[in-house]
Amino acid sequence: MNVIDESGILAIATRLQRLSDQLRKDGVLIYKANGIDFEPKWFPVIYTLHLRSVLSVVEIANEIGYTHPSTISLLKELEKVKLIRSKKDKTDERKRLIQLTPKGQELIEQMKPVWDVMIAALTELTATQNNLLLAIAEVEEQMKRLSMFERAKRIGRLTN
């Protein structure tokens, strides 16, 4: 992938995605090597419920930064493997309240030492001159102030 590396910042979206994919694939391998039946894509939901215990579908979606349909399909999977369960909110019939099952809580306890190993491996990987995690946070912050599109408009004085 010479050309993409050399094209510099224009291909940054491609490179971000590729890096994300690679890390996620390694995540799968690490869980598997530890005998844990868990997919990295479930992490945001499970971790959120670990911290907040009972949340509605949309609350989870907001916490993890996904759309609610994406969240619903994750929740369906997690319900199927019995890591979470849900019940109607009695005070607001529109809402479905989600929480971990005992099995889900046990799995989290099993995963905690694996998470520690992952944190260590990731910290090692990203402890370079320019820290990736900090760089992401900084760029997210910059984008909150003014998106790439807004910046391009300003720079290029677009009519639109």
Interacting positions 68-97 with a second copy (CB under 8 A): none
Q: Which is nearer to a second copy, 33 or 54 (CB)?
A: 33
The amino acid at residue 73 is S
Helix runs in 2-101, H state only: 2-6, 12-33, 43-52, 57-64, 68-80
- Among positions 126-145, residues that touch DNA (CB under 7 A) are none
The only residue of 36, 53, 69, 143 in contact with a second copy, by rule CB under 8 A = 143
CB of 101 to a second copy, least distance (A): 19
- Among positions 23-62, residues that touch DNA (CB under 7 A) are 39, 41, 56-59
Should residue 108 be labelled a site residue for a second copy when binding is judged by CB under 8 A? Answer: no
Should residue 102 be labelled a site residue for a second copy when binding is judged by CB under 8 A? Answer: no
Residues β-bridged to residue 85: 99
Should residue 19 be labelled a site residue for a second copy when binding is judged by CB under 8 A? Answer: yes
Helix runs in 34-147, H state only: 43-52, 57-64, 68-80, 102-126, 132-145
Three-state SS for 16? helix
Q: Of these partners, a second copy, DNA, none, which one is at the site of residue 16 (CB under 5 to 8 Å by kind)? A: a second copy
Query: How many CA atoms, within 13 angstroms, populate the side-chain half-sphere of residue 85?
Result: 7
Nearest residue to 110 (alpha-carbon basis) of 53, 31, 49, 48: 31
CB of 70 to a second copy, least distance (A): 12
CB of 11 to DNA, least distance (A): 11
CB of 90 to a second copy, least distance (A): 25
Q: CA 20 to CA 120: how far, in whole Å?
A: 17
Should residue 67 be labelled a site residue for DNA when binding is judged by CB under 7 A? Answer: yes
Should residue 67 be labelled a site residue for a second copy when binding is judged by CB under 8 A? Answer: no
